[in-house]
Amino acid sequence: MENIKAIVQLLRDVKNKRPLVHHLTNYVTVNDCANIVLALGGSPVMADDAGEVEEMVGIASALVINIGTLNSRTIEAMLLAGKKANQLGIPVVLDPVGAGATALRTNTAGRLIQEIELAVLRGNMSEIKVIAGIDSRTRGVDSADDSAGGSEIASKLAKRLGCTVAITGAQDIISDGSRTGLIDNGSPLLAKISGTGCMVTSLIGCYAGVTSDSYLAACSGLITMGLAGEKAAAGLSPNEGIGAYKVKLIDEIDRLTPEDILREGKFESVNWDCERKQLAIKE
């Protein structure tokens, strides 16, 4: 309950402070990310030219880096922006979209992690496994798709990187290496819309812009998206489809109240058994 109360306060803080969230993000979902930030109460900016990103970061509350449509030009801008954010003490949230799909994506994610101090790393299980260095052929890796195995990955990787790791899926897993939580809010329809992962990373960026606690920022972003996803699904009429759902999703982010989180948030703190040795993760 204490975590839920803290999340409620962060929602109020976003509404009151309207954090400026600088994005270097995916061209496929850039408009969705901007609108989701506005719906929550933040202020988005999407500057990605190397000539201005450092200056823009200087006035931002948080920086979101998303490699969904990366290229040599944006990679340079991401590194410049991330390093400037570190110098200024501005939290950086990284979404390693497609890590493992190509060498460029995997290597770029690794370089960003190596050269930039992250507040939050947010990805799906496949992306996080790649970054954790898990060999998919290793015996026992299938267990990583349950909450215990996923908690192990998140906790170990968070300790190694010194940041919060958030793994999104049917059940969301968040860990900063000492605290681990599970979130069970959400809807299967979220997976049918392009960019919901990018959007939740932007929500995390909003919350990171009003707190120094990256773990709570990640939990807040995930529970916000999960609740909005549930409410949007419940609000669909029989003759409405996935297009209407996307519109309703942004509506529900806008309409989300502290009372909704207190009443319907499904958050559980867990203790991971450090003696478990089921996965081979590079330390």
Return the domain boundaries, the chain. Answer: 2-270
The mean predicted confidence, pLDDT, of the chain is 92
If one counts every other C-beta atom within 10 angstroms of the C-beta of residue 87, the result is 11
Spell out the SS3 assignment of the chain.
CHHHHHHHHHHHHHHHHCCEEEEECCCCCHHHHHHHHHHHCCEEECCCCCCCHHHHHCCCCEEEEECCCCCHHHHHHHHHHHHHHHHHCCCEEEECCCECCEHHHHHHHHHHHHHCCCCEEEEEHHHHHHHHCCCCCCCCHHHHHCHHHHHHHHHHHHHHHCCEEEEECCCEEEECCCCEEEECCCCHHHHHCCCHHHHHHHHHHHHHCCCCCHHHHHHHHHHHHHHHHHHHHHCCCCCCCHHHHHHHHHHHHHHCCHHHHHHHCCEEEECCCCCCCCCCCCC
pLDDT at 277 (0 to 100): 44
| pTM for the predicted model, two decimal places | 0.92
pLDDT digit string, tens, across residues 107-152 = 999 999 999 999 999 999 999 999 999 865 333 333 345 666 899 9
Candidates 193, 192, 196; CA nearest to 172 is 196
> What is the reported pLDDT for 283?
37
Task: Give the pLDDT mean for 155-178.
Answer: 97
Q: What is the mean pLDDT of residues 43-58?
A: 98
Give φ, ψ of 201 to 5 degrees. -65, -40
CATH 3.40.1190.20 assigned to domain 2-270? The reply is yes
